[in-house]
Amino acid sequence: MTGLNLDLNIDKHNNATLVVECPDCGHEVTHHLKTLTTDSMLPCPCGTQIGLSQQDLNRASAMHQLSIAR
Residues that bind Zn ion (CB under 5 A): 22, 24-25, 27, 44, 46, 48
CB of 6 to Zn ion, least distance (A): 15
CB of 67 to Zn ion, least distance (A): 26
| CA dist., res. 63 & res. 56, Å (int) | 11
| CA dist., res. 68 & res. 37, Å (int) | 20
Comparing CA positions, the residue from 55, 51, 12, 35 lying closest to residue 63 is 55
Cβ closer to Zn ion: 30 or 58?
30
CB of 28 to Zn ion, least distance (A): 9
